Amino acid sequence: MMLSIILAVCVLPVEFNAAISAPPSVDALPSTPIDLSKTFEGYEASFVLVNEKTQTVERFNSKRCKERLGPCSTFKVPHALIALELGVLSDENHLMKWDGKKRWRDALNRDHTLASAMSDSVLWYFQRVAPEVGEERMRANLKKLGYGNQDISSGLATFWLNQSLKISADEQVEFLRKLRTDRLPYGKHALNTTRKVITLESANGYTLAGKTGTAASDDHERMILGWFVGYVERGDEAYVFACNIVADDNASGPHAKKLVFKILRERGILPAETKMYVPNAASDEKK
């Protein structure tokens, strides 16, 4: 009995310290509005930027930053994390064979690993992963992550494609903040591999990680929603961001990415010589 009391006393401070060491949520951080109306001219847009060193947040269109939209291909990030944790995917080299069906973009018409499926935004790869995760485990993991509205009711192979699953820019940032700093309840292998496959560039003292997402109109002719979410690490500084743009056309993930790069360069967060990696398409999810 005495030993149990001693152990309880020893454990409690550790748990308490772990709890108080976590940084405040994005909603609790001091927030400053920023005017990016010229940058986002022609779009309904939101942009969130958290400075982890100063524990502050800047927002363009604060109200819209809380509006939930379909995550589109940005969901490939938690999707990969979940599949790695469950053993559905082994590592970044997990290979899936192309089914031989010709799709609209050349990059889709070949075998893919997790790493290449993430960088080329290969929808069919993740549509094979989803059934192996299964509805029950997918729901449980979205709840575990606190990811958006956690709604997969529109179909296991399509729920993230601007359908039932919705998430806000603020929530995207909060998820990425936790992913970046090992504050998600997942194993090291899953966390490390996920961070590795979303890294776009790591050179000259900084690391840029991110993922685009695009939703097309029902006829697949127009790009109506674009996302770019991610983070930049530079020395002891870290910045986590999320951006979405909406319009009747030309609102794609690659275009959102271009606008975010402009914002980050103007603030000195990214150097001018940063590579602009953009998938060879206006949309990375057009069927």
Instruction: Report the CATH number at residue 199.
Output: 3.40.710.10
Total number of domains in the chain: 1
In a domain, 213, yes or no: yes
Look up residue 80 and give its two tokens.
Answer: 């990969």
**Is 73 among the residues known to form the active site?**
yes
Q: Which residues contact 229 (CB under 8 A, 6 or more apart)?
A: 74, 77, 169, 172, 173, 176, 210, 211, 213, 241, 242, 243
User: What is the pLDDT confidence band of residue 275, given thresholds at 50, 70 and 90?
Assistant: low
Over residues 18-32, the pLDDT tens digits come to: 444 688 999 999 999
Look up residue 130 and give its two tokens.
Answer: 């989803």
Give the strands of the sheet with 237-246, arranged side by side: 31-33, 56-60, 44-51, 237-246, 223-234, 206-216, 199-203
In a domain, 3, yes or no: no
Contact 45, 244 (CB under 8 A): yes
Domain that holds residue 34: 28-266
In a domain, 260, yes or no: yes
In a domain, 8, yes or no: no
Alpha helices per DSSP H over the chain: 2-21, 62-65, 76-86, 114-119, 123-133, 135-145, 169-180, 188-197, 253-266
Q: Is pTM, for the whole model, over 0.85? A: yes
Residue from 46, 62, 73, 283 carrying the catalytic annotation? 73
In a domain, 133, yes or no: yes
Over residues 151-203, the pLDDT tens digits come to: 999 999 999 999 999 999 999 999 999 999 999 999 999 999 999 999 999 99
Alpha helices per DSSP H over 87-220: 114-119, 123-133, 135-145, 169-180, 188-197
DSSP SS3 for 53: coil
In a domain, 274, yes or no: no
Residue 233: strand pairing partners: 207, 238
